[in-house]
Amino acid sequence: MAKFMFYDDKLINILMHEEKPSGGAAVQAYGWIRGLSEAGQDVHIITTPNPNGILKEECKELKIVPLYDKQKGIRWIRWVYYRLPYIYNKIKLTKPDYLYQGIPGWTSFFIGMICHQLNIKYVLRISNDFLLDDRILLNYSKAHRFFQKLGLKLSYCILCQNEYQLGVIQKELPHKKTIKLANPIFLKATEAPVEPEKRNYIAWLGLYQYQKNLKLLYEIATSLPNEQFFVAGKESSKCDDETKLYLRKLEKLQNVKFVGFLSREQVLPFLSKAKFLLNTSHYEGFSNTFLEAMSTGTPILSSHKVNPDSIISKYKLGLVYEDAESLQNQLSKITPDTYKEMSSNVLAYVKENHEYKTLANKLLSFLELN
């Protein structure tokens, strides 16, 4: 049995009864946590404490290590005299064999240094394609990218979501221990898929921010006035001016309904009643919303920018479009039989490729632990 520590300050948001937005990396980390725990590994989570919150019943057995107090210290210098020493002491006290971080960033360099000093194997997961190329500079500084790259070099191994990520890492770090592993998904048992004739809207799900491309969502909703769109999500702290503009425009459309932020328990019922899940993102790694939709038999509509390893087109899991007009043309050709085929395909695909216990065992094999 090995001891794992998962470092994710947002993970607490999906462990509590009163959920908050968390992001895909936290959802994915939870899949690994459940899989490794059920495989008999000793799993600890270092995440932001919530002293006033109540853990979900199924999360009460998790071993949670409180992260630093985000309000404590003097801004800009608190990382030096408070946060990094705090992280070091918590990691040293727990002394895991492996430390997992789901989003490589500037802190990866310092966490990598801590792991190196404490003889801990540092596991980095690439959560999004943009983290590995110049698109990262749209959101982060050159200094951030510099320290992130040093963190990647300090890692024991790197887990990739798709072939693009794997190719970049193998080119830049040819001697690094690297593997492509699909996202694990841990979901409570669901009822049988809803019949097609009872599905009456196209679902969109995500945080309102630049990456999610609300402009394209607006263009699609405008081009399909006879389709009803249900939009679930919440404004991100990084919400940009373009996103705010198109949120206002979307709110004025008669065929768009905003349903607000959904907890994990609400996501599957929301998707199960949808004809399709619509993705409009500029970029992703492998969206966990795809897996959630697939598990309810809901096919996917996604642009050519977000079709990881071409799975949507290769396995007929939905439609891949170029723009709003292209999507409109493809939807007009969907027959009941082709829809039924796509719905069956997504159910089979997620079961075969994303089952959390199977993927946890693949990770353990890669780490030579079973």
Q: What angle do CA 49, 52, 56 make, to 5 degrees?
A: 80
The pLDDT assigned to 263 comes to 87
The pLDDT assigned to 370 comes to 75
Answer yes or no: are the C-beta atoms of 130 and 283 closer than 8 Å: yes
CA gap 334, 50 in Å, rounded: 47
* Residue 122 host element (H or E): strand 121-125
Answer yes or no: are the C-beta atoms of 10 and 47 closer than 8 Å: yes
Output the CA–CA distances (angstroms, integers) from residue 319 to 114, 253, 314, in the order listed. Answer: 45, 24, 10
Place of tokens 């725990």: 37
The pLDDT assigned to 190 comes to 62
Domain ranges of the chain: 3-184+355-366, 196-353
The pLDDT assigned to 100 comes to 98
Locate 192 and state its tokens: 């049988």
* Shared fold status for 3-184+355-366 and 196-353: yes
What single DSSP character describes residue 183? P
Give tens-digit pLDDT for 7-39.
Answer: 999 999 999 988 888 788 999 999 999 999 999
CA gap 19, 198 in Å, rounded: 29
The topology under which CATH files domain 196-353 is Rossmann fold (3.40.50)
Give tens-digit pLDDT for 175-230.
Answer: 999 999 999 998 776 667 889 889 999 999 999 999 999 999 999 999 999 999 99
The topology under which CATH files domain 3-184+355-366 is Rossmann fold (3.40.50)
The pLDDT assigned to 191 comes to 64
Residues (pLDDT < 50) of the chain are none
The pLDDT assigned to 84 comes to 96
The pLDDT assigned to 189 comes to 60
Q: Rounded mean pLDDT of the chain?
A: 94
184-213 CB burial, b ≥16 within 10 A, e <16:
bbbbeeeeebbeeeebebbbbbbbbbbbbb
The pLDDT assigned to 120 comes to 98
What single DSSP character describes residue 81? I
